[in-house]
């Protein structure tokens, strides 16, 4: 029986993780949950899964929930850390959105918990530190993302020295067919209309700018200890091949399935076993097509490759500027093309610090956010 602490349990990945728990109640047990502010959903989850404690990042919401339930409610910025420090679970699932997830992942690693990671920012902003800690503590990080789960599966039984390159597939996002001219006046609704994946709003916008793919490239570099030069992105609109590894002899291993996040979630929890799943089976009458990503229309992917080359605090600054800009776009405070424009300015202005510690990264995150705000609203 795996005992789970799920950070971000009311979000898209969190709720799908709980659906996997529903299917395997004899193999998976919920010990703790946390949410940002959606206490209505969290209260329902408490009734159903009977965790020993929960965390709520929003202090006002935490207070409201505390009055309604009889278990401890950790509150505020440190709520996730309090959950991670609980003794009675063995597997930490981190599906917190944005940069708030980094400290929780690091703490879980230090406590030698199994870590299933859906929080991209952990590796994008702090990959160097996180992987060093994981190695030191003998912790394997299981990815909860279709691409990294695919790469993990394609690596099974192979030697990493024999990898020629990793090929990360990309649906292309909601705007793949738009011309540059059309991208100028893209509405929020257009950018949120993803064709093959249904995900949270933040990641759907990251998908529409290809920044999500840029994040995944950086994550793959850290997770599989591969130089960035050996990682390639290919657009594959059907989202059936989730990623591939080409070996030195020219063989390419691919992992395929109908697109569903439940598969990588379940595999992260079942590994090294495979459990049956109700996943729709692939229909071989479908065409699979590939194309090169267009870095002119979607420059965020180019910026992510640059950040991966330079490392240091630059990926954290890029990530932070992106977090800020996507939030503005979701609140209709800026245009779609402003996202990439401001990220580039923040990166160009960033004084990169190599071999950063966590404080350096947190400083870079704070500064990049202030700069993005300045560039967007003051035009500086």
Q: Which of 123, 11, 126 is nearest to 57 (CA)?
A: 11
Stretch that binds Mg ion, among 140-148, 259-267, 284-292, 321-329 (CB under 5 A): 140-148
Compute the least distance from the CB of residue 203 to Mg ion, in Å. Answer: 8
Shortest Å, Cβ 367 to Mg ion = 28
> Are 102 and 81 spatial neighbours (Cβ–Cβ below 8 Å)?
no
Q: Which residues contact 276 (CB under 8 A, 6 or more apart)?
A: none
Indicate the residue among 75 and 266 with the shorter CB distance to Mg ion.
Answer: 266
- State in angstroms the smallest separation of the CB of 204 from Mg ion: 11
Q: Which helix (H) or strand (E) holds 333?
A: none
Cα–Cα distance for residue pair 63/248, rounded to 1 Å: 57
Nearer to Mg ion, 32 or 210 (CB): 210
Please say whether the beta carbons of 312 and 342 come within 8 A. Answer: no
Got the DSSP string for 36-63?
A: SS-HHHHHHHHHHH--SEEEESSHHHHH
Window 274-333: residues binding Mg ion (CB under 5 A) = none
Q: Which region among 14-22, 142-150, 277-285, 293-301 touches Mg ion (by CB under 5 A)?
A: 142-150
| Subset of residues 328 to 347 that bind Mg ion, contact rule: CB under 5 A | none
| Residue closer to Mg ion (CB basis): 7 or 150 | 150
- Residue 13 CB, nearest distance to Mg ion (Å)? 11
What are the DSSP calls for 172-190, one per residue? Answer: --TTTT--HHHHTT--HHH
- CA pair distance 105, 116, nearest whole angstrom: 9
State which residue, 72 or 200, has the beta carbon closest to Mg ion. 200
Q: Which is nearer to Mg ion, 115 or 151 (CB)?
A: 151
| Residue 147 CB, nearest approach to Mg ion (Å) | 5
| Span interacting with Mg ion, options 83-91, 144-152, 161-169, 271-279, rule CB under 5 A | 144-152
Residue nearer to Mg ion on the CB measure, 107 or 147: 147
- Spatial contact of 101 and 316, defined as CB atoms under 8 Å apart: no
145 binds Mg ion (CB under 5 A): yes
CB 16 within 8 Å of CB 97: no
Residue range at the interface with Mg ion (CB under 5 A); choices 141-149, 166-174, 338-346, 350-358: 141-149
H or E stretch at 274: none
115 vs 146: CA distance, rounded Å: 16
In the complex, least distance from residue 290 CB atom to Mg ion, rounded to whole angstroms: 17
CB-hemisphere CA count at 13 Å for 17?
Answer: 34
Count of Cβ atoms closer than 10 Å to residue 101 Cβ: 23
Stretch that binds Mg ion, among 23-31, 139-147, 270-278, 368-376 (CB under 5 A): 139-147
Q: Name the residue whose CB lies closest to Mg ion.
A: 145
Q: How far is the CB of 330 from Mg ion (least distance, A)?
A: 19
Nearest approach, Cβ of residue 29 and Mg ion (Å): 27
Contacts with Mg ion, 146-165, as mask; x by CB under 5 A: xx------------------
Please work out the total of residues on this chain that contact Mg ion, with binding judged by CB under 5 A.
3
Q: Is 315 exposed, middle or buried (0-12, 13-18, 19+ CB in 10 A)?
A: buried
User: Which of 82/147 has CB closer to Mg ion?
Assistant: 147
Q: How far is the CB of 245 from Mg ion (least distance, A)?
A: 16
Q: Which is nearer to Mg ion, 4 or 144 (CB)?
A: 144
Taking the complex as a whole, the smallest distance from the CB of residue 170 to Mg ion amounts, in Å, to: 9
Q: Is the peptide bond before 272 cis (omega within 30 degrees of 0)?
A: yes
The two tokens of residue 294 are 């267009």
Residue number with CB closer to Mg ion (128 or 147): 147
* Helices marked H in 224-313: 262-270, 300-310
Q: Which is nearer to Mg ion, 37 or 196 (CB)?
A: 196
Contacts with Mg ion by CB under 5 A lie at 145-147
């Amino acid at each position: 029986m795996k005992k789970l602490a799920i950070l971000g349990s009311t979000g898209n990945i969190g709720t799908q993780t709980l659906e996997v728990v529903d299917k395997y109640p004899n193999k998976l047990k919920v010990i703790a949950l946390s949410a940002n502010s959606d206490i209505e959903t969290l209260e329902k989850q408490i009734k159903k899964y009977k965790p020993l404690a929960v965390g709520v990042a929003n202090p006002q919401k935490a207070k409201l929930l505390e009055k309604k339930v009889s278990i401890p409610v950790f509150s505020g910025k440190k709520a996730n850390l309090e959950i991670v420090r609980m003794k009675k679970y063995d597997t930490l699932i981190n599906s917190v959105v944005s940069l708030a997830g980094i400290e929780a992942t690091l703490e879980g690693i230090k406590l030698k918990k199994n870590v299933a990671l859906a929080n991209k920012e952990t590796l994008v902003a702090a990959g160097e530190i996180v992987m060093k800690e994981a190695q030191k503590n003998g912790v394997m990080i299981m990815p909860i993302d279709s691409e990294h789960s695919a790469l993990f599966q394609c690596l099974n039984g192979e030697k990493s020295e024999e990898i020629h390159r990793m090929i990360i597939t990309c649906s292309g996002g909601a705007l793949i067919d738009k011309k540059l001219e059309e991208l100028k006046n893209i509405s929020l609704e257009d950018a949120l209309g993803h064709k093959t994946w249904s995900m949270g709003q933040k990641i759907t916008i990251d998908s529409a700018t290809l920044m999500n793919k840029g994040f995944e490239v950086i994550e793959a570099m850290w997770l599989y200890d591969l130089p960035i030069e050996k990682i390639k992105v290919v657009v594959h609109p059907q989202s059936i091949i989730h990623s591939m590894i080409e070996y030195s002899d020219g063989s390419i291993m691919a992992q395929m399935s109908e697109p569903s996040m439940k598969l990588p979630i379940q595999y992260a929890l079942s590994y090294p076993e495979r459990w049956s799943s109700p996943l729709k089976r692939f229909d071989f009458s479908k065409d699979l097509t590939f194309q090169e990503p267009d870095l002119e229309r979607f420059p965020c992917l180019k910026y992510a490759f640059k950040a991966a080359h330079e490392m240091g605090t630059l990926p954290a600054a890029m990530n932070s500027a992106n977090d800020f800009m996507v939030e503005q776009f979701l609140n209709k405070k800026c245009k779609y093309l402003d996202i990439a424009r401001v990220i580039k300015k923040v990166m160009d202005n960033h004084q990169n610090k190599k071999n950063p510690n966590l404080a350096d990264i947190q400083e870079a995150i704070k500064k990049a956010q202030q700069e993005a705000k300045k560039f967007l609203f003051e035009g500086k």
